[in-house]
Amino acid sequence: MVMEIENGKVLKTTITPGAQLTARKGSMLYYRGDVRFVPHSMGGGGGMPGFGAMAGAAGRMMQGEHVAMMTVEGQGESYFGHDGLYIDIVQLDGANQLTVEASRLLAYEGYLQTAIVPLTQQGGMRGAVRGAVTGQGMFTTQLSGQGSVAVLSHGGTFSLEVGPGHPEVVVDPQAYVGHRGPITVDLTAKVGFRDVVGKGSGEATQLKFTGQGTVWVQASEQKF
Amino acid sequence: MTNEQGRAAATSTRARTHEPDDGEHVAQLRMTGHRVLVADLRGETIRAVTGSMVAYEGDVTFKNAGMGGGDGFKAAFKRKMTGESLSFMEVTGHGSVHFAVDAQHITLVQLENDTMSVEASQLLAIDGQVRMDVKFSGLRGATSGQGLFTTTVSGTGTIALLSAGGPLIALGVTPQTPLVADPDAFVAFQGQLNQSFVTDVTWRSAVGGGSGEAFSLRFDGHGVVYIQPEER
């Protein structure tokens, strides 16, 4: 299974038997060959650890971290796109996890594990507060394993390395796309008097990334 | 992550903090891709549209530049009176700051002791050597819904312009080749240009059968007009 960017907004995938793909439901643009699209089984792809499959799926819907996915299998080429949004391919080498909002997932290789994790896992109550303040919700999606993930963004993304020499990267919550590797995310609120009276710089809440890894940022502050 | 030509991002961008200090360093505005502006700050101040920061590294502070966009009380008063108000923030510190607005294309224009008239909503950032002011732009604004005043930027330095829908289009104007532009696509002009308002209101457009191009901007003289490929 190979993922390629056809142009900035269309993803080309090569499907072979035994190497299936999970894609956002309805995102197929066209295909060639013998390709089948099967709605994703309930709760598939991991779900909440410790829950049954059904409970996992139901839980997902309630969390707002649910985007209907489908399994793509067979033999041929299939092309995907969504809403004219730009697509980036992120490679996972098995050692690192990718954290991304479910709504930004276009497709991923079938043998990647997905898990819905509560933000409280990344910093306890502060994580929950972060989700509430930034409008991200209380849960986020993590992908792990070895393979490619196609991520959607408005206007394309650029990446920033976090690690030695770059101890701290700060990102606007609306422009944040995802991050890979052992990174700690913190909400920093520089809310001063000026922000309260509406004379702020418009950058009152920010996400602070420390640790080691990569952060992806989009060229727009539009969420979807 | 793969990126290709024409994408917002090309490579991971880094602050150039290790370069030798050349004394009179001017904040460096540069592009990464077509839709992201990067400012490398070493203690200087630049001004950018409020809320346009998408990411930064280093020790950087963001402060509302005040009503005049940082150009004093007179500019603030004019801004208030004319409705040509756009909120700017002052960005100061050491580090690199990334700016982007709604995935719009960004174009850098160098000013050499020059003046440029800009549609306020299409101005993204200016560096410390450039001043902003508001000036009466004739009657065109009254009907195009853009206000009677335009923002001018003058001095020596770099300004970053936004263009929706694709790259900015620069159109040369000479006395032999005047230019007529749609007010909704107009972004900026530079040079010795005389701006006038063209109306083509006939009984047809009055009853709703017009072509939708009843009002236009006409530029005569010598200069450059910048147009974006999307109407606001």
Residue B6 included in any domain: no
Each residue's pLDDT tens digit in chain B (232 positions)?
444 433 433 333 333 333 334 444 556 889 988 999 999 999 999 999 888 999 999 998 888 776 445 555 566 665 555 555 567 888 999 999 999 999 999 999 999 998 999 988 899 999 878 888 877 655 544 444 455 567 889 999 999 999 998 899 999 999 999 999 888 899 999 988 888 877 766 665 556 665 666 678 889 999 999 999 988 7
Average pLDDT value for residue range A79-104: 91
d(CA B184, CA B2): 35
A23, A144, A169, A88: CA torsion to nearest 10: -30
Task: Flag whether pLDDT at A145 surpasses 70.
Answer: yes
Looking at beta carbons, which residues of chain A come within 8 Å of B35? 155-156, 219-220
- Asked whether the beta carbons of B141 and B181 are under 8 A apart, the reply is no
Looking at beta carbons, which residues of chain A come within 8 Å of B51? 201-203, 221
Task: Flag whether pLDDT at A117 surpasses 60.
Answer: yes
Looking at beta carbons, which residues of chain B come within 8 Å of A7? 4
d(CA A140, CA A118): 6
Residue A71 included in any domain: yes
- Asked whether the beta carbons of A69 and A45 are under 8 A apart, the reply is yes
How far is residue A37 from each of residues A40, A70, B4, B215, measured CA to CA in Å? 9, 6, 29, 51
**Domain residue limits at A208:** 2-218
Residue B51 included in any domain: yes
Pairing of strands A169-171, A205-211: antiparallel
Per residue in A130-141, pLDDT tens? 666 665 666 788
Q: Which pLDDT score is estimated for A50?
A: 41
Residue B205 included in any domain: yes
Domain count, chain A: 1
Q: Which pLDDT score is estimated for B85?
A: 55
Looking at beta carbons, which residues of chain A come within 8 Å of B32? 158
What are the E-state strand segments in A110-182?
113-118, 139-144, 146-153, 157-162, 169-171, 176-180
Average pLDDT of the residues of chain A: 80
Cβ of B1 within 8 Å of Cβ of A222? The answer is no
Bin B37: left if φ > 0, else alpha if -120 < ψ < 50, else beta: beta
Residue A126 included in any domain: yes
Average pLDDT value for residue range A183-201: 64
ipTM of this predicted complex? Answer: 0.79
Of A88, A151, A219, the CB nearest to B35: A219
Of B50, B55, B98, the CB nearest to A201: B50
Residue B21 included in any domain: no
Helix (H) or strand (E) holding A219: none
Task: Flag whether pLDDT at A120 surpasses 70.
Answer: no
d(CA B97, CA A161): 14
Task: Flag whether pLDDT at A149 surpasses 80.
Answer: yes
Strand partners, B39: B29, B97
Average pLDDT value for residue range A12-16: 93
Residue A223 included in any domain: no
CA distance A124 to chain B (A): 24
Residue A78 included in any domain: yes
Q: Which of A109, A23, A35 is nearest to A74 (CA)?
A: A35
**CATH number assigned to the domain comprising residue B35:** 3.60.160.10
How far is residue B231 from each of residues B70, B82, B108, B144, B208, measured CA to CA in Å? 29, 23, 21, 12, 20
**Domain residue limits at B115:** 28-227
Q: Which of A220, A185, A10, A219 is nearest to A100 (CA)?
A: A185
- Asked whether the beta carbons of B232 and B201 are under 8 A apart, the reply is no
Of B4, B57, B104, the CB nearest to A166: B57
Q: Which pLDDT score is estimated for A178?
A: 92
Looking at beta carbons, which residues of chain A come within 8 Å of B50? 200-202
Average pLDDT value for residue range A187-211: 67
Cβ of B100 within 8 Å of Cβ of A220? The answer is yes
Q: Select the residue from A10, A85, A199, A201 to test the B interface by mutation, using most B Cβ atoms within 10 A.
A: A201
Per residue in B130-177, pLDDT tens? 888 877 655 544 444 455 567 889 999 999 999 998 899 999 999 999
Strand partners, B29: B39
Confidence category of residue A33, pLDDT binned at 50, 70, 90:
very high
Domain count, chain B: 1
Per residue in A195-206, pLDDT tens? 544 556 666 678
pTM here? 0.79
Of A4, A217, A222, the CB nearest to B55: A217
d(CA A69, CA B98): 33
pLDDT: is B84 or A213 the higher one?
A213
Residue B163 included in any domain: yes
pLDDT: is A43 or B231 the higher one?
B231
* Exposure string for B199-211, b = 16+ CB within 10 A, e = fewer: eeeeeebeeeeee
Residue A224 included in any domain: no
**CATH number assigned to the domain comprising residue A170:** 3.60.160.10
Looking at beta carbons, which residues of chain A come within 8 Å of B48? none
Could you give phi then psi for residue B15, rounded to 5 degrees? -70, 140
Out of A30-44, A54-68, A151-165, least confident range: A54-68
